[in-house]
Amino acid sequence: MIDLKITGMTCDTCATHVKDVLEKVPGVRSAVVSYSNGSAHLTIKTGTQLEEITGAVTGLGYRATLIHATPASTEGVLLDKTPRRLVGNDKSDTDVQHIAIIGSGGAAMAAALKAVAQGARVTVIERGTIGGTCVNIGCVPSKIMIRAAHITHLRRESPFDDGITATTPKIDRRKLLARQQARVDELRQVKYQGILDDNPAITVMHGEAYFKNSQSLVVKLSDGGEHTMAFDRCLIATGASPSIPPIPGLKDTPYWTSTEALVSNAIPERLAVIGSSVVALELAQAFARLGSKVTILARSTLFLREDPAIGEAVTAVFRAEGIDVLEHTQASHVAYVNGEFVLMTEHGKVHSDRLLIATGRAPNTRNLALDAAGVAANAQGGIIIDQGMRTSSPHIYAAGDCTDQPQFVYVAAAAGTRAAINMTGGEAALDLTAMPAVVFTDPQVATVGYSEAEARLKGIETDSRTLMLDNVPRALANFDTRGLIKLVIEEGSRRLIGVQAVAPEAGELIQTAALAIHNRMTVQELADQLFPYLTMVEGLKLAAQTFSKDVKQLSCCAG
């Protein structure tokens, strides 16, 4: 007789499957499998190969290790007495073999793949469409729409219109949408669904999960019924959803969030946008360039939380393109009458055919029963985590937009990978001190590190310089000098600690700034680097040079 430890079972049905497969192994007379004990007791014939027994269990996606055998049963048996153990951060002797992941977006996928590489078995639980926000209703479709709008704008007008005849493009939104959705479907299949389907160590369960306690979940299955699942570790990666402000009358109207806006098969003649940050401004400009008359209602100014120069620059660009930017304006009431939105504000009425609400995103944590698992969240519902993605519950981790971290998919993916390392016995942390961020307006907005105001709140004495783009050769050659590059340094050490840029393709230069900050470069060291001439990133060098010289007095590509 032999006794095995079976890890990875999540219910009594799993135990039944393990029993059935074990009793089909040549030499196994009988098997008693217990889900609650995580064990199997086998009666076997002498000479039965242990590798065939463990191989049968592994074939189901579980793992079997020998914990006891009578001498008679071990004759001719190949024993593995040093099974690999994945030890969690609680330093217990618990085998971490089954990881449950709630969600299937960027954080979830990164965690699942890393956990499997570490030897764990993973169950991914998804209540909606595989892939989460970014590929389905966020980053990918929005950037496709923004790109189409940018090309529309260039065909309609550019700095070279005196030599290249401008045309008024005809917009077929249905065809644009079909192309957009086809690419979304393709990426979801290639980067998410296909990877999950091809990985035998990952099981996908469709349903909505909530915590029963700190080591088990209840899943309301999409096709009916419930399933209780135990786990060794769990990662919450449920993302976020649009946050809707409590404006009187709003809930009774057919307003859009970014989700509905991105799949609209028509461009409205008039579009009102409530919001003043990333999603609001990206989509406002895209719709304006595709033909809508856009009005933005900003509670304060555009990009209120950023350096004031950023909001001022983008506001000027938007107004030049015919977008109405109503600063310090709030809707006190919203009505939808005879197919028209009517927004009451302190400055009068705003009329529109469609209304986009883009005032931020709230973590998807309300239905998880976090209290039952002892998981703490902040007032906004964001799960509180440390640098290792650990929550207040020892066996539960969280990553991505459902946490108190910045809501960027690349932050989510990095957090998911590190969470998986920590859930399987490693030690990894996520450092966000040099986290770049990009807003895909035109010109783009890109930032990394501290703004002057943020640094001063931290008690850091700063110095700064702002370089307007009419000093950057690439911008001059493009006949497009809209924007600026601002560098913030720590006084004394002269280390670069922050960069803010408003420029065409600013997103392509900000990573260089991030690397400079990460490597603790001084502004002089940045100024001394070689930058290729007639690139936008050369603006970083020029901005660094302004700390010690007048760049207007330099020749082209002066070192």
Tokens representing 240 are: 């976020």
Tokens representing 16 are: 């039944």
Report the SS3 class of residue 438. Answer: strand
Report the SS3 class of residue 468. Answer: strand
Which DSSP category does 439 fall into?
A: E
Question: Are 275 and 256 within 8 A, CB to CB?
Answer: no
Intra-chain end-to-end CA distance of the chain, in Å: 79
Distance (Å, whole) CA 31 – CA 454: 64
Report the SS3 class of residue 250. Answer: helix
Residue 49: enclosing H or E segment and its boundaries? none
Question: Are 281 and 323 within 8 A, CB to CB?
Answer: no
Distance (Å, whole) CA 546 – CA 551: 6
Q: What is the pLDDT of residue 281?
A: 98
Distance (Å, whole) CA 445 – CA 313: 10
Catalytic residues: 9, 11, 14, 62, 134, 139, 556-557
Report the SS3 class of residue 289. Answer: helix
Question: Are 193 and 130 within 8 A, CB to CB?
Answer: yes
Report the SS3 class of residue 485. Answer: strand
CA atoms within 13 A on the CB side of 541: 19
Q: Work out whether strand 496-503 and strand 484-490 pair parallel, antiparallel, or are unpaired.
A: antiparallel
List the chain pLDDT tens, one digit each, 559 residues: 788 888 877 777 778 888 888 988 888 888 888 876 678 888 888 778 888 888 888 778 777 888 766 554 443 333 332 233 333 344 333 456 899 999 999 999 999 999 999 999 999 999 999 999 999 999 999 999 999 999 999 999 999 999 999 999 999 999 999 999 999 999 999 999 999 999 999 999 999 999 999 999 999 999 999 999 999 999 999 999 999 999 999 999 999 999 999 999 999 999 999 999 999 999 999 999 999 999 999 999 999 999 999 999 999 999 999 999 999 999 999 999 999 999 999 999 999 999 999 999 999 999 999 999 999 999 999 999 999 999 999 999 999 999 999 999 999 999 999 999 999 999 999 999 999 999 999 999 999 999 999 999 999 999 999 999 999 999 999 999 999 999 999 999 999 999 999 999 999 999 999 999 999 999 999 999 999 999 999 999 999 999 999 888 888 766 6
Distance (Å, whole) CA 64 – CA 8: 9
Distance (Å, whole) CA 283 – CA 425: 43
pTM of the model: 0.83
Other C-beta atoms closer than 10 Å to the C-beta of 247 total 19
**CA diameter of the chain:** 94
Tell me the domains of the chain and their CATH numbers.
2-74 (3.30.70.100), 98-132+181-242+362-423 (3.50.50.60), 250-359 (3.50.50.60), 437-553 (3.30.390.30)
Q: What is the pLDDT of residue 535?
A: 96
